[in-house]
Amino acid sequence: MAAIDVRGLQREYKSGLKAVRGIDFSVAPGEVYGFLGPNGAGKTTTVRMLVTLLRPTGGSATVAGFDVASEPARVRERIGVALQEAALDLLMTGRELMELQATLHGIPAREVRSRAEELIGRVGLSEAARRRVATYSGGMRRRLDLAMALIHEPEVLFLDEPTTGLDPTSRATLWDEVRRLKADGTTVFLTTQYLEEADQLADRVGIIADGLIVAEGTPAALKAEIGLPHLDISFAECSDLVQARELLLGFGELRPAPEGVDVSVAVAAGAAEIAPVVRVLDEAGFTVAALQLVAPSLDDVFAEKTGRRLEGAAEPVAAPA
């Protein structure tokens, strides 16, 4: 049985906006599923439907084996939720919030304190536990949010953009916790707009754009779909580029060289081809000034599928074929 199973899920708002336009995907137990897309793509709407905060207007979805529309209470018992913009009561202390969350999840009164202490310690907030949440940094709030989502050891954990706006250290801490959860066998549904995050954490990735899933698979498979890695080479002095290109054709297809690069060649074997390439160029008298192995990224996948970049460059890239 899938931990999450979504079939033709739709959400149309009263305004007529179709935020999610019929999506299908399935997440296996223990899997980390990265749900990737730009702002406004439909990620948060999808999460809100899966955690029973929003009713679907079409299609169906089950979480932990229960239908989100007809059995929402059962779903809520089995999930942990850390929504976008850590939803915390700033007037309470970290410990008070943890204890409240434990009570809301029906943890016996005698276990509430110890469970709260354990989780607070796990996310490194023991020293701040007695302070009001208003005094916490963004990273601390996110960690507390995550700890609260884990208080009842959920079968499925939903993390909606958990690292947006965090500094690199806080982001790394959260990534470590997600990896630990994966090792413990927790299913994690992670929405993010950071490609690196999905690449690092997710077993599989679903890319959503304009309310539709445009690609799905493991990060490696998605990247492999759109092409081979390539070597970007720059020479130290004005060289005979025609001869260089002829030599490099023996390794793979030549690609249009980006600005500042003399030759770009696709290399099927990736890093293993660097040494032979350099050797051939050296023997022919070329001095290599810079060489970079460029592997396709999830951003390339996103661009290939949607015709625009997910993060970074604002300018559109070539439209998908």
CA distance 32 to 162: 14
Q: How far is CA 292 from CA 221, 262, 271, 288, 296, in A?
A: 22, 12, 10, 11, 13
**Residue 44 interacts with other proteins (CB under 8 A)?**
no
**Contact with other proteins (CB under 8 A): which of 4, 6, 36, 51?**
51
Q: In terms of DSSP H, where are the helices of the chain?
A: 43-50, 72-78, 94-104, 109-122, 138-150, 168-183, 195-201, 219-225, 241-248, 274-283, 298-306
* Closest alpha carbon to 127 in 170, 94, 171: 94
CA distance 152 to 104: 10
**Residue 148 interacts with other proteins (CB under 8 A)?**
yes
**Residue 88 interacts with other proteins (CB under 8 A)?**
yes
CB of 13 to other proteins, least distance (A): 9
**Interface segment toward other proteins; rule CB under 8 A; list 85-93, 209-217, 260-268, 279-287:** 85-93
**Contact with other proteins (CB under 8 A): which of 2, 28, 69, 92?**
92
**Contact with other proteins (CB under 8 A): which of 46, 62, 101, 306?**
101
**Interface segment toward other proteins; rule CB under 8 A; list 16-24, 27-35, 95-103, 200-208:** 95-103
Please, which residue, 79 or 222, has the CB nearer to other proteins?
79
**Contact with other proteins (CB under 8 A): which of 7, 8, 58, 90?**
90
**Residue 295 interacts with other proteins (CB under 8 A)?**
no
**Residue 109 interacts with other proteins (CB under 8 A)?**
yes
Q: How far from the centroid of its chain's Cα atoms is residue 141's Cα? A: 20
CA distance 9 to 6: 6
Please, which residue, 132 or 305, has the CB nearer to other proteins?
132
Asked whether 218 and 203 are in contact (CB, 8 A), the reply is: yes
Residue type, 87: A
Asked whether 140 and 90 are in contact (CB, 8 A), the reply is: no
CB of 161 to other proteins, least distance (A): 13
CB of 237 to other proteins, least distance (A): 60
**Contact with other proteins (CB under 8 A): which of 83, 146, 190, 195?**
83
**Contact with other proteins (CB under 8 A): which of 2, 28, 69, 100?**
100
As beta bridge partners, residue 290 has 234
**Interface segment toward other proteins; rule CB under 8 A; list 88-96, 226-234, 243-251, 295-303:** 88-96
Please, which residue, 82 or 231, has the CB nearer to other proteins?
82
Asked whether 251 and 277 are in contact (CB, 8 A), the reply is: yes
Phi, psi dihedral angles at 165 (to 5 degrees): 80, 5
**Contact with other proteins (CB under 8 A): which of 44, 52, 173, 192?**
52
**Residue 318 interacts with other proteins (CB under 8 A)?**
no
Burial class (CB in 10 A: 0-12, 13-18, 19+), 157: buried
Give me the half-sphere count of Cα atoms (radius 13 Å) on the Cβ side of residue 253: 6
Residue type, 262: D
Please, which residue, 151 or 205, has the CB nearer to other proteins?
151
Q: How many CB atoms lie within 10 A of CB 274?
A: 15
**Residue 104 interacts with other proteins (CB under 8 A)?**
yes
Pair of tokens at residue 59: 């299609």
CA distance 115 to 98: 9
From residue 63 to residue 82, the character string flagging contacts with other proteins as x (rule: CB under 8 A) and all else as - is ----------x--xx-x-x-
Would you tell me which residues interact with other proteins (CB under 8 A)?
Answer: 14, 48, 51-55, 73, 76-77, 79, 81, 83, 85-92, 96, 100-101, 103-106, 109, 132, 148
